[in-house]
Amino acid sequence: MGGPKVSVVIAAYAPGEGFDRVVASLDAQTLPQDVFEVIVVDDGSPDDTADRLRAVAATRPNWRIERIENSGWPSRPRNVGTALATGEHVLFMDHDDSLYPDALRRLVDYAAETRADVVSPKESKTTDPWWNIQTLQRGNVADITRDGGIAQLLPMVPHKLYRRAFLAEHGIAFPEGRRRLWEDVYVNVAAWRHAERVAVLADTPVYRWHASRTNNSKSYGPLTTEYWDRLDDLLAFITETLAADPEALRSALLHQYQGRVLGRLGKHLRDPEADPEAVAAAIDRATAAQQRFFSEAHDAALAGFDRARAVLLRTGRADLLRALAEVDADTAPVVTATGAQWRDGALHLDVRVDWVTRDGAPAAFERVGERVLRALPVELRAVLPEGVVDVTDTIDDLRVGIGVRDRDEAVTWLLPGEHRAAWEAQDDGRPVPVLHGTAVLDPALAAAGRPLADRVHDLVAGVEWDAADYWARSVRYEGPAVPAVVRGRPGVAYKSKKGALALDLSSGLRNVLADGGAPAGRIAGTTAGLTLPLPRVAVTGEASLTAAVRLTAAEGGAVVELPGVLITDASGARLEVGTRERVPNGAYELAYRIGDRPFFGKRPVQVAKGVVTIVPKGGSAPPPPQGLLGSLRRRIGR
């Protein structure tokens, strides 16, 4: 038998309880344990980490623990772990994250299928529903060196699969030192330079990044000298390493320019508590980096919002940069589902995107002749070129993607859809950008052609304007709950407590019975055999699902549970309930459940001699029909 298919290398430093996630996720892998190895390198943790690691490894033959003198950063323990690895491939994990159950099996199979030196997989982040989605929009790509480009390797985290012999052959390693921010970018840039094939795996969730406050990189910030020293080092490395690949060099530099020079700096410019001297020094360093690494051709390649920041940075004017940062921070997109309807087993959404200020007013734009301009303070308009202020034609670059995110597992899947954007006039004649779109959520296919799990899912959106800037958003919803049973599978789309659109496929928070729109009035039959129509439930296919109703007495709280069946067929959906149990007369609250899930609903009902009446809101139940009294008594066993 050959060696392991993959070595999971973990740099650990006082991980605390987060390491339990690592262990549990590796224990749960579908790839057999004897086909992969785990190498944990403790970077001189000052607590009982080493003992904990040895205790874990003592019952797991495929684990190996190494302890080294504290190096101060994950780079050295990762390099040590790579040197000890014997697997065909190496995957780097952080010490408090987790892998999805099928991660290693699918990675190994896909690497063999594509013969890739590097596989960049689908990754999720607990704090960002749109994390990694932009680079996965095309689905699986066997080789992005020929079909895609280095931007498809983003995010440049180390949570990828690398062929171990490839790393060794080209001397690719993490830069060591006590504080080496962005060490993963160095590895991925070097890997891009030397790789014959780099694949993207989009159809299977692999890595879950559990964002925490203990992340080392958060100890840096653009108001420190150290931040700019390390960024200068990184930009110099990228420039040298990718010199023979002009397109990759341009793309990699633009990413750093947009995010770590212009973006990070802008966030601190609008901080009223920031030290003015530190801000001035940061602007000086940013300007120096701009002059050294980025030409005006790079400025021209930026999206409009970033291009304005770049132009102002070249002036060195902190006041203008701060003014623009305030304008940018005051506006953002709002995504709303204006309609939700089940058709042919799928949830069809109508979506609208508006650009608004923090107080909810439409963002400010102005029309000059046939052109649309950003409404900016006079001092900014005096400096910024017309091509930056004029946003007329960028309306075609306003886009939205709608995704569905598993609330428990934090996995987001992009949904198919269409959209169009246009400048629309407000009542006062001023133009505003508005996007109208659609999205289709088929629960049987939404997870890359596979069914969504029977859990609660949130609808999320990624909004992009002018090719670079994007915003992750929830999808607002003010409409009614929309229940359906699709080929025997119940689900309810509804407004969450946060006012966003969600889909419950678990019947754990909402169910189709409670949201099914059972009409007020007498229910057909008696407690010995009730038929409750559910006119609001959309139906695809025939099914019979175990269900129940619960009647809770208004006085005394006595509970009666009646078994039932949820039936869907060509006539629609209905709940049939039958029992021989005696139900005393009186007022009750009616609740429903499917299978063994919780009960939902608090509809007031009246039981009178076996007749059940759903009381209209604000109304009262009519008396039972006297002519049927004897028959009703016999049917309920009284």
Dump the DSSP string for 56-91. Answer: HHHT-TTEEEEE----SSSHHHHHHHHHH--SSEEE
Could you tell me whether strands 118-125 and 482-486 are parallel, antiparallel, or unpaired per DSSP bridges?
unpaired
pLDDT tens digits for 477-505? 999 999 999 999 999 999 999 999 999 99
Asked if 41 and 66 touch (Cβ cutoff 8 Å), the reply is yes
Query: Does position 630 have pLDDT exceeding 70, yes or no?
Result: no
pLDDT, tens only, 407-458: 999 999 999 999 999 999 998 889 999 999 999 999 999 999 999 999 999 9
The radius of gyration computed from the CA coordinates of the chain, to the nearest angstrom, equals: 30
The CATH homologous superfamily to which domain 6-217 belongs is: Spore Coat Polysaccharide Biosynthesis Protein SpsA; Chain A (3.90.550.10)
**Partners of 494 in beta bridges:** 502
| 342: enclosing H helix or E strand | strand 331-343
pLDDT at 636 over 60: no
Which residues, including other chains, have CB under 8 Å from residue 278's CB and lie 6 or more apart? 223, 224
Whether residue 536 has pLDDT greater than 50: yes
Q: What share of the chain is helix, strand, coil (3-state, %, to 5)?
A: 30, 35, 35
Tell me how far CA of residue 69 lies from CA of 52, 53, 77, 90, 406, in angstroms: 17, 16, 10, 23, 40
The two tokens of residue 199 are 């694949």
Q: Where are the alpha helices (DSSP H) in 294-436?
A: 296-301, 304-315, 318-329, 378-381, 386-389
Q: How confident is the model at residue 628 (pLDDT cuts 50, 70, 90)?
A: very low
Q: Shortest CA distance to 301 belongs to which of 232, 372, 239, 250?
A: 250
Question: How many whole angstroms from its chain centre is CA 339?
Answer: 22
Strand, coil or helix: what is 487? coil
Residue 595 backbone class (left: φ over 0; alpha: ψ -120 to 50; beta: rest)? left
pLDDT of residue 270: 79
What pLDDT sits at residue 633? 39
* pLDDT score of 620: 60
Give the relative orientation of helices 246-256 and 183-194 as an angle to the nearest 10 degrees.
170
Structure confidence by residue, pLDDT tens digits, 372-402: 999 999 999 999 998 899 999 999 999 999 9
Of 196, 110, 221, the C-alpha closest to 160 is 110
Please, what is the average pLDDT of the chain? 92
Mean of pLDDT values over 537-559: 95
- How would residue 634 be classed by pLDDT, with cut points 50, 70 and 90? very low
- Sorted by where each begins, the domain ranges of the chain are 6-217, 220-329, 332-358+393-504, 521-635
pLDDT tens-digit series, residues 567-622:
999 999 999 998 767 789 999 999 999 999 999 999 999 999 888 899 997 666 55
Beta-carbon contacts of 134 under 8 Å, excluding residues fewer than 6 positions away, are 154, 462, 464, 470
What's phi and psi for 232, nearest 5 deg? -60, -45
Q: What does the pLDDT look like over 115-168, one tens digit per residue?
A: 999 999 999 999 999 999 989 999 999 999 999 999 999 999 999 999 999 999
Q: What is the DSSP string of 248-307?
A: HHHHHHHHHIIIIIIIHHHHHHT-TTS-HHHHHHHHHHHHHHHHHH--HHHHHHS-HHHH
11/41 Cα distance (integer angstroms): 5
Adjacent-strand bridge partners of 95: none
Q: Which residues of 499-509 are buried (b: 16+ CB within 10 A; e: fewer)?
A: ebbbbbbbbeb
Q: What percent of the chain clears pLDDT 90, i.e. is strictly above it?
A: 82
Distances from the Cα of 224 to the Cαs of 227, 261, 270, 282, in angstroms?
Answer: 5, 13, 16, 7
Interacting residues of 265 by C-beta distance below 8 A, sequence separation 6+: 222, 282, 283, 286, 313, 321
Contact 589, 552 (CB under 8 A): yes
Compute the C-alpha angle 506/507/510, nearest 5°: 125
Helix, strand, or coil here: 230? helix
332-358+393-504: which CATH topology? Immunoglobulin-like (2.60.40)
For residue 89, with 0-12 CB atoms within 10 Å meaning exposed, 13-18 middle and 19 or more buried, which class applies?
buried
Q: Is residue 583 within 8 Å of residue 527, measured between CB atoms? A: yes
Strands 399-406 and 476-477: unpaired
Kindly state the tokens that stand for 170: 């080209």
Q: What is the pLDDT of residue 1?
A: 53
Adjacent-strand bridge partners of 199 = 119
- Is 125:411 a contact under the CB 8 Å cutoff? no
Q: So what's the pLDDT on residue 523?
A: 87
Residue (of 8, 328, 361, 58) closest to 164 by Cα position: 8
Q: Which helix (DSSP H) or strand (DSSP E) does residue 194 occupy? A: helix 183-194
Mean pLDDT for the stretch of residues 348-366: 93
pLDDT (tens digit, 9 = 90+) per residue, 207-238? Answer: 999 987 655 555 678 999 999 999 999 999 99
- Return the SS3 of 403: strand
**C-beta of residue 564 within 8 angstroms of C-beta of residue 549:** yes
Pairing of strands 6-12, 89-94: parallel
How far apart are alpha carbons 262 and 222 in whole angstroms?
A: 10
